[in-house]
Structure 1
């Protein structure tokens, strides 16, 4: 009989097979957006301000659109569970997967078109939301170039979820890494007008990003077409999607999109709270928050992998295995976060140096504040990772509504009041806001994991009755 340690190591290897490519893909996507930001910065402060504003608007809609199609991977994983021993899918299962792909692309198309229109509407409304008119004028041409890219971006995400659900994520990493280099090259070409092309300046970054989204979508589609197991299932005729399947995916996706939007909004409000303490505090927060965001991509990979594995195990009626997935994912996350936490605590100056120049104006003050925040971050990232895994586990149960409700409680009813009380009333300022942030994430993680445990217990209790 295998020991608990042997079982944990075996389950960790199985989880890592799916989680590592996904986490690396997420990190590559962070590099993509970072490249755009660096290019904007090279064009000057005005371009960075306008470009940053445009990217905030675009990324908010893009993130919510991605949430709409995220559940597709779970549905594909469950539908293909009969393929557990590398055998061919039955025709009924294959047709179910094909219909899921069609519905996913239909949902991505609808969300992409609607999202592009909303992006442009928000772009026109920015001047009425207290933003600097010159910054708005700078952002508008970039938004015009970015908006059309939302459709191929979400097509890519729909096909991505299909490939991941079929446990074929390997091509994602190569395509995403290649897109970083292509994006940087296209940025340079369109900004400066090389090779006889017109000099577009800042809007060139938007055009490059939209083209990269289209190219990566085509590349992933072509890769899937070359895979003998994926090709027969990749039906892109989205206009033939069954309305019932489209409604089911929408019902699962809307709470996920709302959860992503709520989380983004929560962190935006936290940034506004910290901004009241001065520019040095906001710079420190921005630096440490970016570090957390980079490490968070590991949690995203673990969350998606755990979510897909839960869908698969439950489709095969293996509840004990689904319960172990939670423990395995949390153990893997804890190991990674412990290593990162040690780095934060031992060499804080080294990790902060790429973001804050101590010799610049208020740089020394910002570094001191950020060093204190790293102490909180070393603990906070455990709960941040755990709550993301918890959302993924519930998604594996097709329970996206509970995840949304719990995050609303944790972020807005616990985290935000705690941040305000500790930051303002307790006089701890930026450190207090981060302690409140930690409190909200910890509460969210505990509630999500408890909900998952109870849901599995209910399934186990109902199973004999279902069999009878």
Structure 2
């Protein structure tokens, strides 16, 4: 076997140790929103459009909230690596414990603000060209989903801690159970089964909030039972050091802005699609959900590569950090090629769960969008990996600036030109989306190479097993 290939396989196995459970967890988590989307589709095209609009708003704020605590994983990983290399264990333990407290406090504050904004945005989208009936149907869903943002962010804070400590195994088990619970609660609240009230479409939002609360409790209790994690899991948020809270806020704000820039870009694209009617918005919602499902593989790779870079830089292994980039991108490209082949050769199979009512117009639009999605997802995954790699460098501001260029200065004008000005409708909007993601991916990966090249290379070592 050629040495380069042997090295790639070895690096892939090391990356997979953390990436596979994270990717499976991400896929399990997206099954929650996929279940919601399918349930909405069973209620009709208008319900799918309204639910899709509500989910776009929720995901916009949830994603930004997650960004505020994402850096916790990198900070914990770097501290843990220093402890393993012989740093003062008492000092490091105090640092990790304070990081956990600060992340829980920060997620609480962000969750409250996000829940309020969610309701306000739900009332404001009527001024952005959306169908009034769709907006009215979306509002009750947002009312029931908004409280769930707080336990959702608590879950993410504890999750980042467990990932930073390289003990994410419980995440997958908890998330798999939550899928079944979510499906059952969705059905119960929609139809009023057993002791549950019949809420219809808003019942999906209430089920989501309850599942987030139960998942957070389960993850906390699991971490409490883990002797490696329990000593650091402190709920005494009032003891948080102001300096730690400021550090996490300083790192998290650009990450939240980066995530928000991407989610906001997709939000505006959804509004563009909605301006072409209910069928277009339903088609966009279905295909976007498919892309989102596959995207979770890249999220797992991105988090694993990001944590790996933080650890390798703490140990001064710059060559290993560079290889993590190549390995993550290569693994993502291989998976995207297989999925893209399914989109092109069997679009009906991919779309079947979302259009049980047989809306021919929506299905035709969605089939066209799948052809674009087959290419788009390569760049979508690459840009997410790029953001994670920069986070490993603590270059959180750089990622945000790049997304401003790629999404808003390139992607959005391209979507408006192709979709609105040239009359390609939803297909043109997705071609603009593709253009923005491709630009962002190239700029992010190039910035990582340049940032890594500027670091001192005095203490190279063999890679640890990330």
Residue range with higher mean Cα deviation, 233-242 or 287-296? 287-296
Alignment check: 8 A CA contact 2:130 2:274 kept? no
Alignment check: 8 A CA contact 2:48 2:282 kept? no
Alignment check: 8 A CA contact 2:403 2:440 kept? yes
Q: CA deviation at 1:155?
A: 0.6
Q: Determine if the alignment matches structure 1 residue 261 to structure 2 residue 260.
A: yes
Q: Supply the distance in 2 between the matched residues of 1:210 and 1:463 (Cα, whole angstroms).
A: 48
Q: Determine if the alignment matches structure 1 residue 412 to structure 2 residue 408.
A: yes
Residue range with higher mean Cα deviation, 307-316 or 289-298? 289-298
Q: Which residue of 1 aligns with 2:64?
A: 64
Mapping for residues 24-43 of structure 1, pairs under 5 Å:
24-43=24-43
Q: Determine if the alignment matches structure 1 residue 382 to structure 2 residue 382.
A: no
Change (3 A) 1:348 1:231: same
Q: Determine if the alignment matches structure 1 residue 457 to structure 2 residue 456.
A: no
Change (3 A) 1:384 1:45: closer
**Alignment RMSD:** 2.9
* Deviations 1:28-65, CA, capped at 9 Å, x for gaps: 11111222233344455665555444333332221211
Change (3 A) 1:89 1:140: farther
Q: Which residue of 2 aligns with 1:437?
A: 433
* Deviations 1:317-349, CA, capped at 9 Å, x for gaps: 111111111011111111111222222333334
Q: Supply the distance in 1 between the matched residues of 2:441 and 2:223 (Cα, whole angstroms).
A: 35
Change (3 A) 1:199 1:350: closer
* Deviations 1:138-181, CA, capped at 9 Å, x for gaps: 44444333222221111110000000010011110110110111
Q: Which residue of 1 aligns with 2:309?
A: 310
Q: Which residue of 2 aligns with 1:246?
A: 245
Mapping for residues 129-148 of structure 1, pairs under 5 Å:
135-148=134-147
Determine helix, strand or coil for the equivalent of 2:394: coil
Q: TM-score, normalised by structure 2?
A: 0.89
| Divergent runs of 4+, >6 A | none
Alignment check: 8 A CA contact 2:258 2:399 kept? yes
Q: Which residue of 2 aligns with 1:234?
A: 233
Q: Supply the distance in 2 between the matched residues of 1:364 and 1:228 (Cα, whole angstroms).
A: 51
Alignment check: 8 A CA contact 1:356 1:366 kept? no
Residue range with higher mean Cα deviation, 422-431 or 175-184? 422-431
Residue range with higher mean Cα deviation, 245-254 or 34-43? 34-43
* Deviations 1:211-240, CA, capped at 9 Å, x for gaps: 211111111011111111111111121111
Alignment check: 8 A CA contact 2:34 2:289 kept? no
Mapping for residues 212-361 of structure 1, pairs under 5 Å:
212-274=211-273, 284-355=283-354, 360-361=359-360
* Deviations 1:191-221, CA, capped at 9 Å, x for gaps: 4444444444444333322221111111101
Residue range with higher mean Cα deviation, 108-117 or 308-317? 108-117
Q: Which residue of 2 aligns with 1:403?
A: 399
Q: Which residue of 1 aligns with 2:210?
A: 211
Q: CA deviation at 1:74?
A: 0.6
Determine helix, strand or coil for the equivalent of 2:455: helix
Mapping for residues 93-132 of structure 1, pairs under 5 Å:
93-125=92-124
* Deviations 1:46-93, CA, capped at 9 Å, x for gaps: 6555544433333222121111111111111111013558x9981111
Change (3 A) 1:321 1:159: same
Mapping for residues 146-165 of structure 1, pairs under 5 Å:
146-165=145-164
Q: Supply the distance in 1 between the matched residues of 2:422 and 2:230 (Cα, whole angstroms).
A: 60
Residue range with higher mean Cα deviation, 239-248 or 287-296? 287-296
Alignment check: 8 A CA contact 1:357 1:363 kept? no
Alignment check: 8 A CA contact 1:283 1:366 kept? no
* Deviations 1:410-435, CA, capped at 9 Å, x for gaps: 11111222333344566655544433
Q: Which runs of 5+ in 1 are unaligned?
A: none
Q: Supply the distance in 2 between the matched residues of 1:428 and 1:145 (Cα, whole angstroms).
A: 36
Q: TM-score, normalised by structure 1?
A: 0.89
Q: Supply the distance in 2 between the matched residues of 1:287 and 1:197 (Cα, whole angstroms).
A: 28
Q: CA deviation at 1:123?
A: 4.0
Change (3 A) 1:107 1:3: same
Change (3 A) 1:334 1:296: same
Change (3 A) 1:150 1:378: closer
Change (3 A) 1:111 1:123: same
